[in-house]
């Protein structure tokens, strides 16, 4: 909900309706992240790479994070999910958790 200067409020579609599904791979270094991205871009299966290399428990499910809205993930991750190209491997994205490769699998605006 956004508040207007006159004390009235309105719902901003971007923040109230946007939803996304994504999967990710979390690793400790930028170098490992870049290497894994090259492997995926060369044809390796994202989910298999996540299961083998991700430090996040979601790696067991191929990196799947389910559906979420803006503000539910850390800032850097959130920005990439809601502005990045759907279906493209994004990253490395650095957060306080480490380095991520991210694939937005769907997004509604």
The pLDDT value given to residue 2: 41
Q: Give me the pLDDT at residue 109, please.
A: 83
pLDDT at 17: 80
Residue 64 CA to residue 102 CA, distance in Å, equals 10
**Residue 7 gets which letter from DSSP?**
S
Residue among 99, 77, 105, 89 at smallest CA distance from 37? 89
State the pLDDT at residue 108.
93
Residue-level length of the chain: 109
* Close Cβ partners of 4 (under 8 Å, ≥ 6 residues apart): 10
φ, ψ of residue 5 to 5 degrees: the values are -60, -25
3-state secondary structure of 85: coil
Residue 23 pairs in a beta bridge with 64, 103
Please tell me the predicted confidence (pLDDT) of residue 16. Answer: 58
**Which residue segments constitute the domains of the chain, with CATH numbers given?**
2-108 (3.10.50.40)
Q: Which residue has the tokens 């995926």?
A: 40
Q: The whole model's pTM is what?
A: 0.83
pLDDT in tens, the chain (109 residues): 344 344 444 444 444 589 999 999 999 999 999 999 999 999 999 999 999 999 999 999 999 999 999 999 999 999 999 999 999 999 999 999 999 999 999 999 8
Q: What is the pLDDT of residue 9?
A: 41
């Amino acid at each position: 909900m956004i508040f207007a200067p006159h004390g009235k409020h309105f719902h901003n579609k971007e923040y109230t309706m946007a939803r996304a599904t994504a999967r990710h791979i979390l690793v400790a270094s930028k170098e490992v992240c870049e290497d894994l991205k090259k492997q995926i871009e060369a044809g390796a299966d994202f989910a298999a790479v996540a299961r083998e290399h991700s430090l996040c428990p979601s790696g067991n499910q191929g990196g799947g994070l389910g559906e979420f809205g803006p503000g539910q993930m850390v800032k850097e991750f959130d920005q990439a999910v809601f502005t990045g190209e759907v279906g493209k491997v994004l990253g490395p994205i650095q957060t306080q958790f480490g380095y991520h490769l991210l694939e937005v699998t769907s997004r509604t605006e």
